Structures are given as C-alpha cells and as structure tokens.
C-alpha cells in the first residue's frame, strides 16, 4: 500500500488530450490513398533527426537508433515533438515511449493516416 503521503493529495484534473479529428463529411475517396509514401516519410524523419543539434555532423540513416546517435531520453522527447510538428500529428505517450529509433518513428508515421 502506497503510504498516505502519496495518496493524501488533493485531486487534480487529469491532463486532457484532444484527438485530431478531421471532418470529412461529404468527402468521398474512390480508391485514392491520401497516406504519405514510405519514401517521403523516411526522408522527412531522417531530416528531422539530422537537424537536431546534438546530431550535427553525424550520419543519420533510417536504421539509426537514437542511442547510436548519442541521444538520451530527453533528446528523444524533443525529437518526437519535432516529428509531431513535422507531420501534424500527436503521438500518444505510451506509443512515444516505445520509439527508440528512426525506423520505429517511420513505422509509426506509416500507420498514422492523419500524418500530413
């Protein structure tokens, strides 16, 4: 049982997150796929990571892990926010915490239809 010092806290509101919902009423797609291509996603992810100041001068490939690039958890948090801004998405925390490489970032974007 967690000590009372941990539970005897006033109840604060949980953080709220709004999902980005695109309103597509009246719009129909006939076989067209608006998702970004893998090549474009890969190039843009590698570009975002390459632009991070601690990565300057290092060679970044789609297979690079953040650890190989000398990045720690705080760097990862910063880079993933930059990725969110680049693609206009919001990566849930539990997903973001699993991403530790360029490839995992690319895979997440690939399965995110709202990525722009």
Q: Which is nearer to another protein, 3 or 39 (CB)?
A: 3
73 binds another protein (CB under 8 A): yes
Give the one residue of 58, 95, 103, 107 binding another protein; rule: CB under 8 A: 95
> H-type helices in 11-52, by residue range?
38-51
Token pair recorded at residue 73: 């958890």
Give yes or no for residue 14 binding another protein (CB under 8 A).
Answer: yes
Beta bridge pairs of residue 37: none
Burial of 103 (0-12, 13-18, 19+ CB in 10 A): middle
Active site (annotated) includes residue 53: no
Residues 15-54 that bind another protein (CB under 8 A): 15
Nearest Cα residue to 84 out of 76, 13, 71: 76
Annotated active-site residue in 33, 47, 53, 72: 72
Q: Judge contact between 110 and 41, C-beta under 8 A.
A: yes
Task: Note the residues at the interface with another protein (CB under 8 A).
Answer: 1-3, 5-7, 9, 12-15, 73-74, 77-78, 80-82, 84-85, 93-98
Question: Would you please indicate which residues are annotated as catalytic (active-site) residues?
Answer: 72
């Amino acid at each position: 049982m967690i000590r009372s010092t941990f539970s005897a806290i006033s109840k604060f509101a949980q953080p709220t997150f709004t999902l980005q919902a695109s309103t597509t009423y009246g719009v129909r797609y006939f076989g067209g796929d608006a998702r970004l291509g893998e090549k474009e996603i890969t190039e843009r992810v590698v570009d975002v990571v390459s632009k991070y100041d601690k990565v300057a001068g290092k060679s970044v490939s789609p297979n690079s892990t953040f650890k190989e690039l000398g990045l720690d958890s705080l760097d990862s948090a910063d880079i993933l926010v930059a990725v969110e801004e680049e693609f206009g998405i919001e990566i849930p925390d539990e997903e973001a915490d699993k991403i530790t490489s360029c490839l995992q970032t690319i895979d997440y974007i690939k399965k995110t239809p709202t990525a722009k």
